[in-house]
Structure 1
Amino acid sequence: MAVLNFPNPSRSYDTSRHCVCFWGYDNSREITFMVDDTLLRTLQPGLGTDERSVLGAFDEFREKVLQLANKQYVAGPQNRYSIS
């Protein structure tokens, strides 16, 4: 089983894709994750649609999202995952 690390707390909101992007690392390989804002709305009903609100929800539920990322990740050539 591959183990990801998330040493970088950086994240950004992609308004065109309606998702928060963040990065994990499998050794030195960077893996991009995109969590759909619909999932964040499930975790936080009434979530606003603005960038600040969505990033705040991501921060609040970061550990839960990282758990989902770890469950979805499979070591291999793929380096981009969408969590919805």
Structure 2
Amino acid sequence: MTLAFPNPSRSFDRARNAVRFTGYDGMFEVSFFVDAGVLARSDTELRQAGAPETKFLSAFDALRASIHDAARKAYSEGRRTFYILTAADFR
């Protein structure tokens, strides 16, 4: 099976300082987190302390295609319980 993202839901996880989203490999659910620093690279307002969660979610939406591509690549390199995507995953 291949990794798909049929559910567009995402949420901000304050504890991880990341946006959480889910992918599916057939019937298996796979959790992903995109580090907030990755999203802040594209928006100077997000680099400031205390940026609102809604801004991070909007940045995620704008970068969704490339985030999904990075998630597929990370997933193809080895199956784990969850994945944290950092700047290194987007090079």
User: In the alignment, which residue of structure 2 is the partner of 1:55?
Assistant: 57
In structure 1, distance between residues paired with 2:78 and 2:72? 14
Q: Which residue of 2 aligns with 1:3?
A: 2
User: C-alpha separation between the residues in 1 aligned to 2:38 and 2:7?
Assistant: 22
Give, in angstroms, the shift of residue 77 of structure 1: 5.3
Letter aligned with residue 20 of structure 1: V
TM-score, scaled to structure 2: 0.82
Amino acid in structure 2 at the alignment position of 1:62:
R
Distance 1:3 1:51 in 2: 30
The structural deviation recorded for 1:75 is 7.6
Identity %, equivalent residues: 39
Question: Secondary structure of the equivalent of 1:81?
Answer: strand
Query: How many residues are matched?
Result: 83
TM-score (norm 1): 0.88
Distance 1:18 1:72, change over 3 A: same
Please, which runs of 5 or more residues in structure 1 have no aligned partner? none
Structure with higher RCO (Cα < 8 A, 6+ apart): 1
Q: Which runs of 5+ in 2 are unaligned?
A: 87-91
In terms of fraction of residues, the more helix-rich structure is: 2
